[in-house]
Amino acid sequence: GLAEKLQDTFKKLRGKGKLSEKDVKAALKEVKLALLEADVNYKVVKNFIKKIEIRAVGHEVLASLTPGQQVIKIVNNELTELMGGSKSALSFADSPPTVIMLVGLQGSGKTTSTGKLAKSLKQDGKRPAMIAADIYRPAAIKQLQVLGDRLDLPVFTMGDQSSPVDIAKAGISFAQSNNNDVVIIDTAGRLHVDEEMMDELKSIRQEVKPDEILLVVDAMTGQDAVKVANKFDDLLGINGVILTKLDGDARGGAALSVKAVTGKPIKFVGMGEKLDALEVFHPDRMASRILGMGDVLSLIEKAEASIDAEKAMELEEKLKQNEFTLEDFLDQMEQVRNMGPLDQILGMIPGLSGAGQLKNLQVDEKQLDHITAIINSMTPEERRKPDKINGSRRKRIAGGSGTSIQDVNRLLKQFKQTKKMMKQFSGGAKKMKGRLPFF
Ligand code: GDP
Ligand code: MG
């Protein structure tokens, strides 16, 4: 993929010490090829390389002690700029409800993103409602209702006999009377951009005057996604893009070209099918991810969002008193699990983002299930005082949890090590407060 190619190129540069203009140009040629292979728009690549070349073959870089690092820094900066510089926030209406309209082709992920966005807004303390304005596919309304039930958020529907414009209008009145401060309208898509779809979307826009029109596009379609974005922007006008299925996009072409080609920023990215797999798009972090510097900031944010600060303090206290038990161990594990799929989490850690190291992770998720089963099969006394778990108890626990004695032994050993490690951590670092001792 793109990341590996760029990382290889830069590894060579780093290793070189002094660089000549020729070295830099050769490296940039590799970067150019890697970007084109990643399906980045040709014009975008050309401009991008030109900009970097001007900066990178300058005297200051070549004469510096770490020219390789300097070049990488320049590429990182330019990549960040290419994707919009800094993150683009949603704009909220002065008088609620804020109206957000999701548009896009069929299957791009509008309905899923409606749910994800509603979830994230709810977590931010908003009171979102969703409007089901796709009347053409029988399952579409039901799909949104299921999401609403799961999120415990209202979904406004009028069946499939009213016009989308009427539904949108009535939905907003409903939101007003129901005290919802944000409404998200899930609209219908077609397989291709056509007049009928655009006319319908324009009528809705005309009627409800959305604060945000967000175009949902599928990252896996590469430059097609960028073309679609251009068309929607020309014909309807969009405020930004939600780039979905980035989890399945090995190339990255759309992520890198959307802003440069359309002028409209990517505001969110979809990283999976689950409702919590929507992330605010940070160009700087994306650039670092591509260049293999990991994505420590996203990781920390994820950790902070899912880890209960009070619980962490409690743990610290327990560690001090040497009362950290297997129950706490289980609790910790669940918190890590709440952060999302392990492979996603570990992919953000620098040095682990290379695909190779992540192969065994499926197994690890399974191990977590084992550990949960084992601890659940213990008596409360055993969980508090694991030292007391002798051979016959181990046998009983293994039987009860459907695991082997070796599994039980391994867990007890792991627990001991974790406890020791956590003690070391909590002793020194004040800044660990409110965070998992693992990190
Ligand atoms: P719509 O026709 O635009 O409303 O698209 P849907 O929301 O129904 O999504 C189409 C398919 O894409 C569904 O199977 C979703 O689960 C899937 N999907 C949506 N967003 C993502 C994403 O970010 N990652 C992955 N892997 N799948 C996604
Ligand atoms: Mg849909």
Residue nearest atom 27 of ligand 1, based on CA coordinates = 273
3-state SS of 263-302?
CCCEEEEECCCCCCCEEECCHHHHHHHHCCCCCHHHHHHH
CA 125, 281, 101 angle in degrees (round to 5)? 60
Beta bridge partners of 269: 243, 279
Q: Pick the most confident of 54-63, 97-106, 132-141, 290-299.
A: 97-106
Are 272 and 417 in the same domain? Answer: no
Nearest bound ligand to the CA of residue 105: 1
On whether 244 is known to bind a ligand per the annotation, the reply is: yes
pLDDT at 419: 78
Are residues 216 and 245 in contact, defined by beta-carbon separation less than 8 angstroms?
no
Phi then psi dihedrals of residue 217, to 5 deg: -130, 150
CA torsion, ordered 283, 284, 289, 294, to nearest 10 deg? -140
SS3 281: coil
Ligand 2 centroid from CA 46, angstroms? 36
| Averaged pLDDT, 315-331 | 79
- Among 82, 113, 140, which residue terminates a domain? 82
ipTM: 0.99
Ligand 2 centroid from CA 97, angstroms? 22
Alpha carbon distance 395, 398 (integer Å): 5
Model pTM? 0.71
Q: Is the peptide bond before 97 cis (omega within 30 degrees of 0)?
A: yes
Alpha carbon distance 188, 167 (integer Å): 12
Alpha carbon distance 150, 402 (integer Å): 32
pLDDT at 297: 55
117, 221, 244: residue to mutate for ligand 1 pocket, most atoms within 8 A of CB: 244
| Averaged pLDDT, 328-354 | 63
What pLDDT band is residue 343 in, cutting at 50, 70 and 90?
A: low
Are 287 and 316 in the same domain? Answer: no
- The answer, yes or no, to whether residue 336 has pLDDT greater than 90, is no
Residue 18 lies in a domain: yes
Are 109 and 160 in the same domain? Answer: yes
Alpha carbon distance 167, 185 (integer Å): 9
Residue of higher predicted confidence among 346 and 91 = 91
Beta bridge partners of 102: 186, 214
Residue nearest atom 22 of ligand 1, based on CA coordinates = 245
The number of angstroms, rounded, from the C-alpha of 292 to the middle of its chain's C-alpha atoms is: 16
Q: How many domains does the chain have?
A: 3
Are residues 189 and 136 in contact, defined by beta-carbon separation less than 8 angstroms?
no
Q: Which atom of ligand 1 is nearest to the CA of 108?
A: 3
Residue 91 lies in a domain: no
Residues of the chain with pLDDT > 90, as a percent, come to 55
Are 156 and 269 in the same domain? Answer: yes
pLDDT at 367: 75
Helix (H) or strand (E) holding 213: strand 212-218
Helix (H) or strand (E) holding 100: strand 98-103
Are 179 and 214 in the same domain? Answer: yes
- CATH number for the domain harbouring residue 56: 1.20.120.140
Going by C-alpha positions, the residue among 63, 55, 64, 3 that lies closest to residue 25 is 55
Nearest bound ligand to the CA of residue 274: 1
Which range of residues forms the domain containing residue 54?
2-82
What pLDDT band is residue 356 in, cutting at 50, 70 and 90?
A: very low
- The answer, yes or no, to whether residue 21 has pLDDT greater than 90, is no
Q: Which atom of ligand 1 is nearest to the CA of 137?
A: 2
Are 314 and 260 in the same domain? Answer: no
Are 179 and 280 in the same domain? Answer: yes
Q: Which atom of ligand 1 is nearest to the CA of 186?
A: 4
Alpha carbon distance 266, 249 (integer Å): 15
Beta-sheet pairing, 155-156 with 240-244: unpaired
- CATH number for the domain harbouring residue 282: 3.40.50.300
pLDDT at 102: 98
- Among 244, 263, 293, which residue terminates a domain? 293
| Averaged pLDDT, 154-161 | 95
Are 67 and 110 in the same domain? Answer: no
Are 33 and 170 in the same domain? Answer: no
Residue nearest atom 2 of ligand 1, based on CA coordinates = 107
Are 328 and 246 in the same domain? Answer: no
Alpha carbon distance 210, 213 (integer Å): 6
On whether 111 is known to bind a ligand per the annotation, the reply is: yes
Ligand 1 lining (C-beta closer than 6 Å):
104, 106-112, 189, 216, 244-245, 247-248, 270-273, 277
- Among 82, 116, 134, which residue terminates a domain? 82
What pLDDT band is residue 146 in, cutting at 50, 70 and 90?
A: very high
Residue of higher predicted confidence among 268 and 426 = 268
Residue 327 lies in a domain: yes
Residue 130 lies in a domain: yes
Are 267 and 304 in the same domain? Answer: no
- Both tokens assigned to 52: 């970097």
Residue 347 lies in a domain: yes
Residue 402 lies in a domain: yes
Alpha carbon distance 326, 64 (integer Å): 53
Residue for token pair 């601890």: 375
Helix (H) or strand (E) holding 430: none
Ligand 1 centroid from CA 108, angstroms? 6
- The answer, yes or no, to whether residue 430 has pLDDT greater than 60, is no
214, 267, 273: residue to mutate for ligand 1 pocket, most atoms within 8 A of CB: 273
Q: Pick the most confident of 215-224, 308-317, 330-339, 343-352.
A: 215-224
Residue 90 lies in a domain: no
Residues 278-311 pLDDT 10s: 999 999 888 887 776 555 556 656 666 666 666 7
Are residues 118 and 140 in contact, defined by beta-carbon separation less than 8 angstroms?
no
Ligand 2 centroid from CA 187, angstroms? 7
Residues 174-226 pLDDT 10s: 999 999 999 999 999 998 999 999 999 999 999 999 999 999 999 999 999 99
pLDDT at 252: 85
Ligand 1 centroid from CA 248, angstroms? 11
Ligand 2 centroid from CA 191, angstroms? 12
Beta bridge partners of 183: 99, 129
Helix (H) or strand (E) holding 268: strand 266-270
Going by C-alpha positions, the residue among 90, 164, 170 that lies closest to residue 129 is 170
Number of helices (H), then strands (E), belonging to the chain: the values are 20, 8
Are 68 and 127 in the same domain? Answer: no
Residue 332 lies in a domain: yes
On whether 188 is known to bind a ligand per the annotation, the reply is: yes
